[in-house]
Structure 1
Amino acid sequence: MILESLANSQLIENLGWTLLHSVWQIAFVALWLFSALRVFAKSSTNARYTVSLFALVLALVLPTVTFIWLSQNSPETKQNIVASNAETTDALNEKIQLQENFLPLKNVKSAKPDSEKFFVSVENLQNGFVQNFSAFSPILVGFWFLGILFSALRLFGGIWQLHIYRTRENSEPNQDWQAKFSGLCERLKIKQTVKLLQSKIVKTPMVIGWLKPIILVPTSVFLCMNQKELETIIAHELLHIRRYDYLINFAQSFVEVLFFYHPAVWWISTQIRHERECACDDAVVRTLENSQIVYANALANLEEFRLVAKQTTSPVLVAANGGKLMKRIQRIINNKNTKRSNLQNSLWSASLACALILAFMVALFSTTNEVPVNAQSKLSDGKTRKMAVGFVSIPPTDRMENPPKDADATMRLLIEKLKAHRVPAIGFVQGGMVSDGEKMYPVRTEIVRTWRDAGFEIGIGGYKHIWFHDTPFDEYVANTEKNEIITKKILAEKNLPLRYFSYPFLNNGKTAEDKNRFENWLNDRGLRSVKYTFDNQEWMYSFAYDMARLDNDINTMKEIRAEYLDYMTKMTDHFEAYSQDMFGRDIAQTLVLTPSRLITDTADEFFGMLHKRGYKFVPMDEAQSDEAYQTKEALVDSKSGISWFERWQMAQGKKLRDEPRVSRAVYETWNASETKKRLTQ
């Protein structure tokens, strides 16, 4: 049970996304390092080593930052925790025979002009991948953990091998060598206490340890290698200690364990080891006069000893014969400038490296153009705007010639878009659309289940979408209670709670007495009403859009989409101005929309616009926890529903702001329909 809960947690999904993003992130870092090493081809080895090390650090930092960002911006709500992905999978696998045939999701297409078909198909592929990746994440993360376990066991095996080398069959060399070793330590300015030991087990000189380092030299090397050659080899190992290479190499091995699956990490790591050995080689030649040929011969002889012994070094070791040995020997012999350190060139190279690194970091983290929609941006003051979204009502309204199929397709498209943009929305059920009070309508009930099983919260409105202003109190309560019973049946299938009520038409009563009585009734049942700050007339645009869809009028549909997005942009400005005027800050907003095809067809543009304004989409309870929602509100004593900003403004006796108008063409489409209804009644 614990493993199942863990597999379906947001943590696992975030890890999965982090691993996926690490593939291109680390590949990009490796490409950058490849280019940087070409730029610094004639620079000092220390500069090249520093750049290589930075690349490995960046390869670790980028996925770490990605995981932290995903964790902080997770859309998981209490509903997501209870209705886990496992339950979603079970529900989708049930072969429910419905009375009507559903339109398969893979065949669902938003109404778009022919010229946009290619872009729509690419977009659908992207969104489909995003939506289905959650189910694959536990498998991916599981294989990653297994790989880490195997790699860690290999690393610990190497550490245990070092322990054996350090504790078995070694002894101090003769007094003559101990005296030379002390002089060499003083000459190289080694501040740590280092022991020199000869070993019968190891076949190549090596450094073990960091706090109390020791240098192990094979007994055969003491016997077969001449004194000057061995002195250069020991100097090489001492320089590793002075540079703390053992500690860095251990950290390097840790990164290799984490990213065992990425060839770019192993390539970066190989470059680091090669540049590290070259840097120590250069330091040896600079420190010991006339030692180029001697040191080159020493390395060649050392490799010959190792090949005869057929011993490989542990990845956590720093050894004199590490790196690409033949290239190192050629460098030592051919590099005429190695003996004299060109300090000016080293400083110039290091400065250029820092400049390039700084430019890369600025370009990586400060780019604002074409920001991914899912990346919740922040305002210039570092604060993030918040917005919760409620959909009234679900299931979607049937206006097309094939209502069940179209409503189901609309809901599935909407779910796809909300997940892609990480919007933890809440949908409010209108009971009359899913039941006659006794039996459930199978198709529309299944649409509500689809919303539920996708991890989105469910609330209620009324069984019928009626005005509180025109309805007696007891009748209004009965209408709500009937809807509550129906909706709780659907929620009970997954043991989910019912927490929110949305007033139909945003109208909360004719009198203060009725309003207060009903709020108390809701509280007694564990329900809270939603106070929408971002009211709008999107429903008019959605109606006009559906009428154009009925007529297959592609051009009108395109015009309506453009007009709607312009209208909603102005409405966003409108309510942001209210927020600043009333509270001097950006309060958490609550937006009401209808689940329509217009919403799905403009989701990328609309949610993208909100993202660019710095909005983070949050659950309803987080938004309404803003203290602004405790502000005294005025009762609207007319048959109307308005934003809570306007109610708060009216309570303070202030004039309301002029609201952006719906486009004339859309209004006329809506008005013509209403006139036709009245004439036929």
Structure 2
Amino acid sequence: MSSADLIGSVGWTLVHFLWQGTLIGCATALVLMALSNARPESRYLAACLGLLLCLAWPATELALRLHGGEGTGGDAMVLFAAGLVAGAPIDQGWATVLAEQLVPIVATWAACALALALRMVSGLLWIGRAAAHERRDAPWQARIDTLALRFGIGRAVRLRVVAGLASPVTAGWWRPVVLVPAALVSGMPAPLLEALLAHEMAHIQRHDYLVNLGQNLVETLFFYHPAVWWISGRIRVEREQIADDIAARQLGEPRRLALALSELEKIQFPTHHLAQAANGGDLMSRIKRLLRPQSHTLGQALNWKAGIPMLGLAAVSAAVFAHAAPAAPQAQPDVPAVADFKSCDRPLYPAESIKLHHTGTVSLDFMVATNGKVADTRLKKSSGHAALDDAAQTALAKCTFKPATTKGKPVPAWTAVQYVWSLD
């Protein structure tokens, strides 16, 4: 596969995720609304499935594109979505506009995704250094060992005291570590700090660190879609709520955990994104829920503000498409597109078709963009055999053309070609 095919496949996958992610976000919102009075575990599972679909859907599409060699073409769904957003007539010019922007789209995405990936790696390195070099505290290590036994955790849980940290955080799966702020060790009453550590034990018991890493992966790949950030945020809110419930049951004192969180609420500093922290989510909502579990349900209703990011995406898309709306390609340009036959590879006769003695003629209409690339193809008349039709479209997509012109200016234009498959 050529680099152009790879860029095309990745680019169209990223473009498609604009509408795919919006659909997933809306569906997830509806499910969460239906589960508003359910247990937080149910909402957590629904949000996790939504985020997993945000990864699985484009990954499947990319695999199909790479396997089928369709990376250089658009499809009807992209045109349909563009027409709906812009309120404009749907024409094949949209495919040309998008196809010509795939290289900068992929380049910008790759640069931003790389920056986020480096940020994630630096966070993992920081956690590793903290676990290896920060101060140990024997009395609190003994307390956390006791808590681990109460929670049924068979792995050793390490405790490190870190200066400058605002809240206890947990990282690691096989060798988990709890990082505790030095200010809390010296200044918070021991029963309250123990309640916060019980919350961290709940995260370790549930292997939440692995899910959190998965969230960071999806956020890194699809950082440009607000639905991903919203769903991921809902996962974190529900996860903290679940950990609160588990810790409160183990302590037998929900009020003690609520009091510990209220003390922590006074210190509002950001904690590391790769680790679970006791001050995650809305602390005041969590405190109220612990004190009045029957009358306060965090998921009782989704705030209408949750839809603002996706509405913003639609508005931005509308503005972009409105200003980039292409003129419909002229049916009769002054000078038609001309093929550079040196750029066209000889079509490969499918091995299975040779074995079955399949022959026939494929008639194709195709659009040549202003950059000379094939922006879209349409099957006008089939050979009667899908493999031969696909092979013809794949070969055509690799050709370069001298674009059609009108008054000396390159314009997108449709033209036609026939592939004759013969075994003579």
Structure 1 equivalent of residue 242 of structure 2: 279
Distance change >3 Å, CA 72–CA 228, structure 1 → 2: same
Q: Which has the larger radius of gyration?
A: 1
Cα deviation, residue 215, structure 1: 1.1
Residue type of the alignment partner of 2:360: T
| 1:292/1:333 contact within 8 Å kept | yes
Q: Structure 1 CA distance, aligned partners of 2:421 and 2:186? A: 90
Distance change >3 Å, CA 618–CA 301, structure 1 → 2: same
Cα deviation, residue 68, structure 1: 1.3
Distance change >3 Å, CA 250–CA 75, structure 1 → 2: closer
Structure 2 equivalent of residue 433 of structure 1: none
Distance change >3 Å, CA 288–CA 615, structure 1 → 2: same
Structure 2 equivalent of residue 218 of structure 1: 181
Distance change >3 Å, CA 594–CA 186, structure 1 → 2: closer
1:433-464 Cα distance to aligned partner (Å, 9 max, x none):
xxxxxxxxxx8xx64xx2415xxxxxxxxxxx
Matches within 5 A, 1:73-88: 73-75=68-70
Structure 2 equivalent of residue 165 of structure 1: 130
| 2:359/2:383 contact within 8 Å kept | no
Distance change >3 Å, CA 318–CA 592, structure 1 → 2: closer
Partner-residue secondary structure (3-state), 1:196: strand
Q: Structure 2 CA distance, aligned partners of 1:588 and 1:69? A: 25
Structure 1 equivalent of residue 204 of structure 2: 241
Structure 2 equivalent of residue 331 of structure 1: 289
Partner-residue secondary structure (3-state), 2:339: helix
Cα deviation, residue 254, structure 1: 1.4
Partner-residue secondary structure (3-state), 1:252: helix
Residue type of the alignment partner of 2:390: V
Structure 2 equivalent of residue 130 of structure 1: 95
Residue type of the alignment partner of 1:166: A
Matches within 5 A, 1:397-408: none
Q: Structure 2 CA distance, aligned partners of 1:200 and 1:588? A: 74
| 1:198/1:219 contact within 8 Å kept | yes
Q: Structure 1 CA distance, aligned partners of 2:58 and 2:421? A: 42
1:120-162 Cα distance to aligned partner (Å, 9 max, x none):
xx99743111134322110110111111122223223322332
Q: Structure 2 CA distance, aligned partners of 1:50 and 1:620? A: 45
| 1:75/1:618 contact within 8 Å kept | no
Partner-residue secondary structure (3-state), 2:159: strand
Cα deviation, residue 73, structure 1: 2.4
Structure 1 equivalent of residue 55 of structure 2: 60
Identify which of 121, 131, 141 aligns with 2:106. Answer: 141
1:32-90 Cα distance to aligned partner (Å, 9 max, x none):
111111111111111111111111110011111111122222258xxx9xxxxxxxxxx
Matches within 5 A, 1:342-421: 409=331
Q: Structure 1 CA distance, aligned partners of 2:219 and 2:421? A: 55
Residue type of the alignment partner of 2:43: R
TM-score by length of 2: 0.70
Q: Structure 2 CA distance, aligned partners of 1:293 and 1:194? A: 26
Q: Structure 2 CA distance, aligned partners of 1:301 and 1:611? A: 74
Work out whether 1:50 is the aligned partner of 2:35. no
Matches within 5 A, 1:89-128: 125-128=90-93
Q: Structure 2 CA distance, aligned partners of 1:328 and 1:50? A: 19
Partner-residue secondary structure (3-state), 2:265: helix
Structure 2 equivalent of residue 181 of structure 1: 144
Distance change >3 Å, CA 622–CA 159, structure 1 → 2: closer
Identify which of 432, 449, 452 aligns with 2:339. Answer: 452
1:237-257 Cα distance to aligned partner (Å, 9 max, x none):
111111111121112111111
Work out whether 1:156 is the aligned partner of 2:126. no
Structure 2 equivalent of residue 420 of structure 1: none
Residue type of the alignment partner of 2:239: R
Residue type of the alignment partner of 2:207: Y
Distance change >3 Å, CA 613–CA 274, structure 1 → 2: farther
| 1:208/1:214 contact within 8 Å kept | yes
Matches within 5 A, 1:174-323: 174=139, 177-289=140-252, 291-304=253-266, 306-307=267-268, 311-323=269-281
| 2:195/2:260 contact within 8 Å kept | yes
Matches within 5 A, 1:517-666: 588=358, 590-591=360-361, 593=363, 607=379, 617-620=389-392
Distance change >3 Å, CA 37–CA 592, structure 1 → 2: closer
Q: Structure 1 CA distance, aligned partners of 2:166 and 2:43? A: 30
Distance change >3 Å, CA 52–CA 616, structure 1 → 2: farther
Report which stretch shifted further, 214-223 or 313-322.
214-223
Cα deviation, residue 586, structure 1: 8.4
Distance change >3 Å, CA 187–CA 610, structure 1 → 2: farther
Q: Structure 2 CA distance, aligned partners of 1:228 and 1:611? A: 78
Residue type of the alignment partner of 2:116: S
1:619-671 Cα distance to aligned partner (Å, 9 max, x none):
35999xxxxxxxxxxxxxxxxxxx999x99xxxxxxxxxxxxxxxxxxxxxxx
1:78-125 Cα distance to aligned partner (Å, 9 max, x none):
xx9xxxxxxxxxxxxxxxxxxxxxxxxxxxxxxxxxxxxx9xxx9974
Distance change >3 Å, CA 173–CA 221, structure 1 → 2: farther
Q: Structure 2 CA distance, aligned partners of 1:296 and 1:496? A: 70
| 2:130/2:160 contact within 8 Å kept | no
Tell me: higher relative CO, structure 1 or 2? Use CA pairs within 8 A at least 6 residues apart.
2
Structure 2 equivalent of residue 20 of structure 1: 15
Matches within 5 A, 1:23-38: 23-38=18-33
| 2:51/2:228 contact within 8 Å kept | yes
Cα deviation, residue 495, structure 1: 6.0
Residue type of the alignment partner of 1:326: M
Distance change >3 Å, CA 38–CA 612, structure 1 → 2: farther
| 1:590/1:620 contact within 8 Å kept | no
Distance change >3 Å, CA 328–CA 65, structure 1 → 2: same
Q: Structure 1 CA distance, aligned partners of 2:20 and 2:103? A: 21
| 2:44/2:238 contact within 8 Å kept | yes
Partner-residue secondary structure (3-state), 1:619: helix
State the Cα RMSD in Å.
3.9
Distance change >3 Å, CA 189–CA 139, structure 1 → 2: same
| 2:162/2:179 contact within 8 Å kept | yes
Q: Structure 1 CA distance, aligned partners of 2:192 and 2:365? A: 80
| 2:170/2:277 contact within 8 Å kept | yes
Distance change >3 Å, CA 590–CA 55, structure 1 → 2: same
Cα deviation, residue 235, structure 1: 1.0
Partner-residue secondary structure (3-state), 1:23: helix
Report which stretch shifted further, 223-232 or 143-152.
223-232
Distance change >3 Å, CA 237–CA 12, structure 1 → 2: same
Q: Structure 2 CA distance, aligned partners of 1:140 and 1:190? A: 46
Q: Structure 2 CA distance, aligned partners of 1:140 and 1:301? A: 46
Distance change >3 Å, CA 217–CA 452, structure 1 → 2: same
Partner-residue secondary structure (3-state), 1:126: coil
Residue type of the alignment partner of 2:117: A
1:237-279 Cα distance to aligned partner (Å, 9 max, x none):
1111111111211121111111111111111111011011001
Q: How many residues align?
A: 340
Cα deviation, residue 314, structure 1: 1.4
Matches within 5 A, 1:462-477: none
Residue type of the alignment partner of 2:277: A
Between Structure 1 and Structure 2, which shows a larger proportion of strand residues? 2
